[in-house]
Amino acid sequence: MISTLEKEITFRFLKARKKDGFLNVISIFSFIGISLGVAVLIIVMSVMNGFRTELINKIVGFNSHITVSSHDKSIDYLNLKNKNLELISENLILSNSSEAIIISEQNSKGVLLRGYLEDDFSKLKLINNKNFVGQDKRIRKNFISIGKELSFTLDLEIGDNITIMSSSGVETIIGNLPKQKSFTVLSIFESGVADFDNNVIFLNLNTLEEFSNLSKDDRNLEIYLKKPQNIENQKNIIQNIFPNDLVFSWADMNQSLFSALKVERNVMFIILSLIIIVAAFNIISGLTILVKNKTKDIAILKSIGVLNNSIIKIFFLVGIIIGSTATFFGILIGITFSYYVENIRKFISSTFDLTLFPEEIYFLSTMPSEINFGSIFLISICSIFITILVSIFPAMKAAKLDPVKSLKYE
């Protein structure tokens, strides 16, 4: 327990005095250093969490949570009525895909064709967002839906006709010739990821299979889950339902990307924690000078019967108060900055005419931020723990002072 005397002396030592000018400077820098370290760590972690979440949302918005693909024969459609599958899935959609070349007067471009049944197309999350342009959300025969970036690249609008050359051919008297077919642009979608919007075309599943010489046995089953967070457990459930088929999730398809993001996040946490550690070491300097300046006071306290444990508590509390208040102030700054990070980015960009977050590089039009209170709690604990460690040595040194020697020359 901390006595009233120990509290009084602690707060007296914390009060600034003119003759302690250099000591006050060190204390102020310790406070600012820890506050900025905590704030920067919270801001960086929030932005990285937000970036990861936005990237996942965009990837999942374009791809199914789990895909079932057959090896050599078609998927057993009787399994679609499995009770466990119905329990965890929100939508079950059949799809197929192939490669082709899109031909226009100005340009030719390789694209990925992805086919869906007429009614299934309207169930896609990508089609139901606010950026979708087109009155018909179904995908009818001989019509296609293209990405926003591709419409810019080929200068296409809704109602325009475009020729597509299939990767498969048709036998003629002069040999095998690639199929060509004219399609009408029915709608324009925007996923938010430029690579998808510029390289993928949606069309009717039956039209795709006829155009690309694909069989119904080649169809994939796209599964959209009710609760996609626990993806691995639900993937195992689906694998048991389709034991003879290949089952993979969006996480499997983008494993290297998210592994890199995870490593980068952990490295950033370690590097930015060094800021707090360096700032915390200023507390050692400040407390050591404080012990030196308060030698007479310590000697008087000991001579009137104050125990060494109380002396340790007093100087230990001084360090803890500086570190704790700095941590709290840093948390306040970090949360505020993280909450308004996009507004701050816009202000800096417009004021100094800078591009701080180019969309073509980061796939996102706004700087994302997701405040994770679990991370903030961990950062706070680490900061206070470091403060506790660095406060021990000066407090122990203060307790070892000999009152007789300290008062001898006074």
Of 12-26, 44-58, 65-79, least confident by mean pLDDT is 12-26
Do 113 and 92 fall within a single domain?
yes
Last residue within a domain, chosen from 214, 244, 274: 244
Do 147 and 226 fall within a single domain?
yes
**What gap in Å lies between CA 199 and CA 63, rounded to an integer?**
14
Residue 329 has a pLDDT of 92
Query: Which of 21, 14, 5 shows the shortest CA–CA distance to 287?
Result: 14
The residue range of the domain holding 84 is 71-244
The per-residue pLDDT for range 183-241, each reduced to its tens digit, is 999 999 888 777 788 889 999 999 888 888 888 888 888 888 888 777 888 888 888 88
Domain for residue 31, yes or no?
A: yes
Domain for residue 64, yes or no?
A: no
The alpha carbon of 231 is separated from its chain's Cα centroid by a whole number of angstroms, namely 17
Do 229 and 85 fall within a single domain?
yes
Do 15 and 113 fall within a single domain?
no
Token pair of 250 as six digits: 């969006």
The answer to whether residue 94 scores a pLDDT higher than 60 is yes
Contact 369, 338 (CB under 8 A): yes
Query: Which of 185, 135, 141, 188 shows the shortest CA–CA distance to 159?
Result: 185
Domain for residue 123, yes or no?
A: yes
The most distant pair of C-alpha atoms in the chain lies apart, rounded to whole Å, by 116
The per-residue pLDDT for range 147-188, each reduced to its tens digit, is 888 888 888 889 888 888 887 766 666 656 778 888 999 999
The per-residue pLDDT for range 8-44, each reduced to its tens digit, is 777 776 765 555 555 566 677 778 888 888 888 888 8
Last residue within a domain, chosen from 244, 275, 297: 244
Whole-number average pLDDT of the chain: 80
**What average pLDDT does this structure show over 373-398?**
84
Do 93 and 234 fall within a single domain?
yes
**What gap in Å lies between CA 99 and CA 183, rounded to an integer?**
15
Last residue within a domain, chosen from 244, 271, 289: 244
**What gap in Å lies between CA 403 and CA 301, rounded to an integer?**
9
Name the CA dihedral angle for 254, 260, 265, 268, rounded to a multiple of 10 degrees: -160
Do 138 and 224 fall within a single domain?
yes
Domain for residue 62, yes or no?
A: no
Domain for residue 63, yes or no?
A: no
Domain for residue 229, yes or no?
A: yes
Domain for residue 252, yes or no?
A: no
- pTM higher than the cut 0.75: no
Query: Does 298 or 144 have the greater pLDDT score?
Result: 144
How many domains in the chain?
2
Do 16 and 124 fall within a single domain?
no
Domain for residue 112, yes or no?
A: yes
**What gap in Å lies between CA 237 and CA 256, rounded to an integer?**
24
Do 281 and 234 fall within a single domain?
no
Do 394 and 263 fall within a single domain?
yes
**What gap in Å lies between CA 97 and CA 247, rounded to an integer?**
17
Do 110 and 136 fall within a single domain?
yes
- The conformational region for residue 55 under phi > 0 = left, psi -120 to 50 = alpha, else beta, is alpha
Do 210 and 345 fall within a single domain?
no
Do 95 and 194 fall within a single domain?
yes
